[in-house]
């Protein structure tokens, strides 16, 4: 077994620990804020107009009535956490498709800005929404970073992903991205690599479009991930996932992006200029997630909000937050989580880590830190631990497995509520 396979296996098993969420909190309970700390707020908007077969995020079919109720409840939850003493300096809105109802989104962002000293706001969207003036005007509501889910510019792959009809052909997406460029401080493009039918030539074309034609401020290249429950649909629609070419594809991406003047913001995100970071979990140790299916990490525990939209609406209606599950990490697990997330961003300040963990970081994580140096994944330079070129790809594997563990938890939670309504219908996965 080579190092890559060994790490995949190890992380597939160890990341299950983080996503165990054994503590069923019964009545939803919001954790206490810590002193005068300013947090990052994550808002989850789970509605999508089509349900892509490869996607394991918490997403449901868009229904205007339901989504209107949901946005209203989300604004109540924002007020509730503000009343509980939380203060936020950053906002990240993800989904699903946050821009599915732009007026509702703007009202929600405005509420956060009225109540908190938010200085950076990031919103995810899909290419077809770039045709909507209200989405392009989001910068007037303080949105600095718009992240567009493109996945590929290859029409064949877009058709396999069942995104071609709804989100547009390669040519349409390129035109929309060019029109959106310059509206925001950071225009990020989300891409996926290692599709079963992707070729090096197709990946090379994607890269040239991104850097030479569009000139994206930032590109996030996620490795294709799957969850146990979506594997069947994925195998049918886009082919059987293999990791044989993953490393080569990653090396092609990194070489192209770095040569084009981008720097790595995380193992799979490349930015230029003063782009905002892509992965808030790498930048911010603690964050509070609001909305159905959102995750939070606070004071050494991961929290999950209910995945049932109906349950979420009724919890909020009763004046409670949507949080229902907790996974409490031991002190060593917290350090390993910290190591994983910090090195996802490329570097770890060892002095800061020592201080953060009462001078136990070196001592307790000695095996992990030694192993990283032995497999030449990281190099120490003064107080900084830095990923090597080899380490960047190994971190892609670790994060892929970490997120796959989270995806499996999402699928379990969604399975528990599969009888709730037609919103979760998987039949739409085969023909969105
Ligand atoms: S990938 Fe598709 S299903 Fe998943 S969140 Fe984006 S639009 Fe929705």
Which of these ranges, 1-15, 31-45, 128-142, 311-325, has the smallest mean pLDDT?
1-15
Domain extents for the chain? 20-286
Q: How far, in Å, is the centroid of ligand 1 from the Cα of 126?
A: 8
Q: How far, in Å, is the centroid of ligand 1 from the Cα of 54?
A: 8
Verdict on whether the full-model pTM lies above 0.75: yes
The preferred substitution site among 46, 48, 414 for testing ligand 1, maximizing ligand atoms within 8 Å of CB, is 48
Q: Which residues lie closer than 8 Å to 322 by C-beta, 6 or more apart?
A: 28, 77, 290, 291, 292, 294, 305, 306, 312, 315, 316
What average pLDDT does the structure give for the chain? 88
Q: Characterize the bridge pairing of strands 38-45 and 120-125.
A: unpaired
The preferred substitution site among 57, 100, 293, 414 for testing ligand 1, maximizing ligand atoms within 8 Å of CB, is 57
The mean pLDDT value for 367-384 works out to 91
The number of the ligand 1 atom at minimal distance from the alpha carbon of 126 is 7
Q: How far, in Å, is the centroid of ligand 1 from the Cα of 142?
A: 24
Instruction: Write out residues with Cβ below 6 Å of ligand 1.
Output: 48, 51-52, 55, 57, 59, 95-97, 126, 149
* 125-147: pLDDT as tens digits: 999 999 999 998 999 999 999 99
Over pLDDT 70: what percentage of the chain? Answer: 88
The preferred substitution site among 59, 168, 426 for testing ligand 1, maximizing ligand atoms within 8 Å of CB, is 59
The number of the ligand 1 atom at minimal distance from the alpha carbon of 51 is 3
* 35-57: pLDDT as tens digits: 889 999 999 999 999 888 888 88
The mean pLDDT value for 340-356 works out to 93
Domain 20-286 has CATH 3.80.30.20: yes
pLDDT of residue 264: 93
Q: Which residues lie closer than 8 Å to 141 by C-beta, 6 or more apart?
A: 106, 109, 110, 113, 121
Q: Which residues lie closer than 8 Å to 63 by C-beta, 6 or more apart?
A: 47, 423
The Cα-based distances of 196 to 160, 193, 199, 235, 390 in angstroms read 10, 9, 9, 9, 23
pLDDT of residue 424: 46
The dihedral through the CA atoms of 67, 222, 417, 324 has a sign that is negative
């Amino acid at each position: 077994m080579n190092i890559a396979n060994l790490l995949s296996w190890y992380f597939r098993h160890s990341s299950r620990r983080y996503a165990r969420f054994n503590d069923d909190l019964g009545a939803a309970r919001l954790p206490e804020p810590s002193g005068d700390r300013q947090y990052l707020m994550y808002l989850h908007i789970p509605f999508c107009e089509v349900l892509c077969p490869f996607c394991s995020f918490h997403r449901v079919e868009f229904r205007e009535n339901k989504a209107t109720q949901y946005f209203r409840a989300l604004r109540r939850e924002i007020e509730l956490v503000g009343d509980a003493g939380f203060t936020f300096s950053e906002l990240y809105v993800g989904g699903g498709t946050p821009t599915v109802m732009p007026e509702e989104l703007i009202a929600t962002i405005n509420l956060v800005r009225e109540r908190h000293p938010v200085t950076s706001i990031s919103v995810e969207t899909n290419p077809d929404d770039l045709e909507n003036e209200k989405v392009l005007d989001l910068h007037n509501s303080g949105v600095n970073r718009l992240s567009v889910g493109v996945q590929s510019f290859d029409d064949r792959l877009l058709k396999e992903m069942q995104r071609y009809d709804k989100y547009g052909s390669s040519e349409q997406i390129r035109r929309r991205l060019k029109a959106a460029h310059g509206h925001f401080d950071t225009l990020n493009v989300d891409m996926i690599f290692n599709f079963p039918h992707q070729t090096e030539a197709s990946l090379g074309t994607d890269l040239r479009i991104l850097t030479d034609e569009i000139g994206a401020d930032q590109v996030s290249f996620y490795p294709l991930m799957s969850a146990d429950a979506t594997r069947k649909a994925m195998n049918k629609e886009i082919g059987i996932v293999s990791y044989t070419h993953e490393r080569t594809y990653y090396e092609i991406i990194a070489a192209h992006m770095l040569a084009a003047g981008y720097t790595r913001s995380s193992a799979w995100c490349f930015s230029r200029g003063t782009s905002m970071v892509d992965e808030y979990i790498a930048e911010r140790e603690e964050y509070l997630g609001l909305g159905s299916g959102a995750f939070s990490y606070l004071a050494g525990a991961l929290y999950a909000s209910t995945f049932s939209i109906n349950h979420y609406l009724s919890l909020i209606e009763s004046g409670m937050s949507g949080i229902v599950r907790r996974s409490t990490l031991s002190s060593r697990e917290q350090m390993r989580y910290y190591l994983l997330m910090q090195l996802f961003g490329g570097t770890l300040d060892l002095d800061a880590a020592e201080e953060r963990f009462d001078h136990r970081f070196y001592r307790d994580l000695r095996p992990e830190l030694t192993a990283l140096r032995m497999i030449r994944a990281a190099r120490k330079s003064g107080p900084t631990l830095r990923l090597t070129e080899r380490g960047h790809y190994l971190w892609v594997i670790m994060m892929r497995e970490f997120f796959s563990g989270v995806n499996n938890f999402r699928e379990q939670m969604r399975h528990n509520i599969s009888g709730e309504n037609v919103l979760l219908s998987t039949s739409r996965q085969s023909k969105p």
